[in-house]
């Protein structure tokens, strides 16, 4: 998995140059036992291919789904996953943490 910032940004640039719609998802806040620190990123293209990580778990699937909506609409989203959310176990946050992920379309 490529998750160094320069690899993620290079993939975004390459996909954009190839004509793909692209979104960038970034962990902007964590609380408790979060799997990835703030600043962790995931880049997604319009066919659902992604690189990087925002959780190391199933949150990625939910973020990719939301990112596809962001690519289509152009409207950014702030997503929150955590223990207070009834889907926490389903998305892989059984460790007791909360994360907020900002998803934006790459211009």
Q: Domain spans of the chain? A: 5-105
Banded model confidence at residue 52, pLDDT cuts 50, 70, 90:
very high
Band of the pLDDT at 105, cuts 50, 70, 90? very high
Nearest of 101, 15, 6, 106 to residue 56 by alpha carbon? 101
Residue 63 DSSP SS3: helix
What confidence category does residue 92 fall into, taking pLDDT thresholds of 50, 70 and 90?
A: low
**Listed residue (62, 56, 55, 61) closest to 79, CA to CA:** 62
Task: Give this prediction's pTM.
Answer: 0.83
């Amino acid at each position: 998995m490529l998750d160094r910032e320069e690899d993620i940004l290079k993939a975004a640039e390459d996909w954009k140059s190839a004509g793909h719609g692209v979104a960038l998802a970034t962990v902007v806040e964590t609380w408790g036992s979060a799997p990835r620190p703030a600043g962790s990123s995931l880049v997604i293209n319009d066919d659902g291919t992604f690189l990087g990580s925002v959780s190391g778990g199933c949150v990625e699937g939910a973020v990719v789904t939301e990112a596809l909506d962001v690519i289509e609409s152009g409207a950014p989203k702030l997503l929150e996953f955590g223990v207070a959310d009834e889907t926490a176990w389903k998305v892989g946050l059984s460790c007791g943490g909360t994360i907020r992920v900002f998803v934006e379309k790459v211009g």
